[in-house]
Amino acid sequence: MKKIKVEDSIGYVLAHDLTKIVPGEFKGCRFKKGHIIQEEDIPELLNMGKEHIYVLELSPQDVHEDEAALRLARAAVGWENTGLKIGEPSEGRVNVVAEYPGLLKVNLSALKAINQIPDVILATLHNNYPVQGGQVVAGTRVIPLVTKEEYVARAEDICRAAGGILKIAPYRRLRVGVVTTGNEVYKGRIKDAFGPVVKAKIVQYGCQVEEEKIVPDDAVIISQAIREMVDRGLELILITGGMSVDPDDVTPLGIRLTGAEVIAYGAPVLPGAMFMLAYLESVPLMGLPACVMYYRATIFDLVLPRILAGERLTQADIADLAAGGLCLGCQECRYPVCPFGKGGLS
């Protein structure tokens, strides 16, 4: 840091805030610390009574905070179409924003490596966070006004090796079928309350329920209904009701009778323990427990976005939901702005 004449300060970095005072009208910061002085700033500085100021002189090995934040953000986004855009620097910070709705994917190991570099910060929303277009998903900056080129370059190298560490996986608009099970609904004793809840959630992701079938508690009939929907080209089948271990709850057996590969029956998520995920000829089958009708956020809300984003989930993916899989049951649900489903490691 050195003191120089204002007329000689063009291109230097201001080392402290400068306050402007207009008696009776204004008092506040006119130039912030870290501002790179431009030619047009000189008359204003002189009018403020500043003939000398303290500035930072950058060497070729130094990077200003704004440039560093921009470079970090660009590296984190990568060089492909990742559904992200980069904002303008503001007080040394640069935001990364989603261009469209989708699932935020974060390379967690690369993120951790970047944040172990001196001076460098990259903070993100949780991995697998469902985001909306225009939502801020990450922010980056460096701690000092000026950092070393080697630190920024090291972070860029990590991002380059990972192919970027942030992206938005867009939701696919799948053709959805719903199989509602239960003798009480099939025989008209009660009105189906499950289907409307499921359809409302599907619509939020831009999908449409193209076929809905109500069947009795008969494993063979349930199996046939699922297979018929798959044969007709439906791309996601949701099976509601009858998912517990009671003897007369035969929906899990009906799913198995299709010949589907069962990934998991039971999930370490509350509410949602009696959930089943299977794949039949690459078509996801989701057996939904009754809690989906009654709770704002359940296992369905954690798995559905990932299926729609094109992931083929494994048993390990389901097991990974255990950390963060306990819903707090808040009086006013604010999911996904809450801890539910946010503790997984992958």
| Residue 71 shares a structural domain with residue 41 | no
Asked if 153 and 218 sit in the same domain, the reply is no
For residue 240, the model assigns a pLDDT of 95
Say yes or no: 184 and 97 in one domain: no
Distance CA 344, CA 28 (A): 45
pLDDT at 346: 57
Residues facing 124 on adjacent strands: 138
Structure confidence by residue, pLDDT tens digits, 311-345? 999 999 999 999 999 999 999 999 999 999 997 65
| Residue 198 maps to a domain | yes
Q: What is the CATH number of the domain that holds 111?
A: 3.90.1170.30
- One domain, residues 235 and 218: yes
Pair 328, 344: CB distance under 8 Å = no
Q: 199 and 108 in one domain? A: no
Of 143, 170, 197, which residue is a domain's last?
170
Range of the domain at 132: 62-170
pLDDT tens sequence across 275-311: 999 999 999 999 999 999 999 999 999 999 999 999 9
Find all residues with CB under 8 Å of 104, minimum gap 6, and list them: 98, 124, 125, 126, 127, 128, 129, 130, 131, 137, 166, 167, 168, 169
Instruction: Tell me, yes or no, whether 188 and 292 share the same domain.
Output: yes
> Burial level of 147, CB count in 10 A (0-12/13-18/19+)?
buried
Look at residue 69 and tell me if it is in a domain.
Answer: yes
Could you tell me the pTM of the whole model? Answer: 0.85
- 332: in domain: no
% of the chain with per-residue pLDDT over 90: 78
Give yes or no: residues 122 and 204 share one domain: no
Q: Are residues 292 and 179 in the same domain?
A: yes
Final residue in a domain of this structure, among 118, 150, 170 = 170
- The CATH number assigned to the domain holding 225 equals 3.40.980.10
In a domain, 19, yes or no: yes
Nearest to 287 by CA among 296, 298, 274: 274
Domain count within the chain: 3
Q: How far apart are the first and last CA of the chain?
A: 44
CATH (domain of 21): 3.90.105.10
Are 263 and 314 contacting, i.e. CB atoms less than 8 angstroms apart?
A: yes
8 φ, ψ (degrees, to nearest 5): -105, 10
- Write out the H or E segment, with its range, that includes residue 62: strand 62-64
* Region for residue 242 given its phi and psi (left: phi exceeds 0; alpha: psi -120 to 50; beta: otherwise): left
Burial of 307 (0-12, 13-18, 19+ CB in 10 A): buried
